[in-house]
Structure 1
Amino acid sequence: MADTGKAHQPDHLSVVTTATDGIHVLTVAGEIDHDTAPPLQQALDLSRLGSPPRVVLDMRQVTFMDSAGINLLVAAHHATTQAGGWLRLASAQDAVMRTLRIVELDTVINCYPTLRDALHR
């Protein structure tokens, strides 16, 4: 196998923000790890989310999440809760949901099977 000389580039993470009924929906796609997390971290900045911050992360296109993603979600949960709002997770794929369950984050942050459920609960 030939070496192309290119360094490994982390998978891109995209975050698209929309709002519905005063709830910020962050549609996240890709892998959430140390190298790719900054766009999500920026999108979860409280100064961008209004008051009280009500946020749903649509995770149906997230294919992988490591401890950096877990730490980011924990920090975002604490920040939104302290500001009188909330953070909800929606549509996590099985592999990501398994990670959330292993670290018991699903007992701290409300996880919903669909975006619709997360928006209307």
Structure 2
Amino acid sequence: MREKHDMLSAMYVHTPAEVTHAVEDEVFVVRVSGSLDHDSAPLLEEACALAEDSGAPRTVVDLSLTDFADSTVLHVLLAAQRAHHRQQRTLIVAGPFHEVVRRLFDVTGTAGYFTLADDMLGALGS
């Protein structure tokens, strides 16, 4: 499996990941840019933990500037989704999604597990 991951990773030019967060109109917004993988997933995990602790009724994870994401990132998002569900809060994952990110949701069959929005406008209006 690691070999397959390395081959997939080698197909894309990775850009450094950056994860920021802010509260906007009572929505905790996590913005992710660059390539998220095993090494950078803890940045997303930390931001999602802050979202869970924030008490904001809704969290939006903006992946519109994410050009790569692997199963480690998916694991972080699934854990955040479960935590938000337990707290009866909403987690929305927003695009538009790079084809690699969209494929991650589609191939793993997890697209239906999340509330996906085509863009931030749709996510904030949900």
Instruction: Settle same-fold status: TM greater than 0.5.
Output: yes
CA distance in 1 between partners of 2:67 and 2:25 (Å): 28
In the alignment, is residue 118 of structure 1 matched against residue 123 of structure 2?
A: yes
2:66 pairs with 1:67: no
- In structure 2, stretches of 5+ residues that fail to align are 1-13
Query: Cα gap change, 1:48/1:74 in structure 2, threshold over 3 Å: closer, same or farther?
Result: closer
TM score, norm. by length of structure 1: 0.84
Q: Secondary structure at the match of 1:44?
A: helix
Aligned to 1:5: none
Q: For structure 1, list consecutive stretches of 5 or more residues without a partner in the other structure.
A: 1-9
| Higher mean C-alpha displacement, 15-24 vs 41-50 | 41-50
Q: 1:86–1:115: structure 2 CA closer, same or farther, 3 Å change rule? A: same
Q: Which residue of structure 2 lines up, in the alignment, with residue 104 of structure 1?
A: 109
Q: Bigger radius of gyration, 1 or 2?
A: 1
State the number of aligned residues: 112
How well do the aligned residues superpose, as a CA RMSD in angstroms?
A: 1.8
Q: Counting helix residues as a fraction of each chain, which structure ranks higher?
A: 2
- Residue 11 of structure 1, CA deviation: 4.7
Alignment of 1:1-121 (within 5 A): 11-46=15-50, 49-91=53-95, 92-121=97-126
Distance 2:93 2:103 in 1: 13
1:105, distance to aligned residue in structure 2 (A): 1.6
TM-score by length of 2: 0.80
Amino acid at match of 1:40: L
Moved over 3 A (4+): 46-49
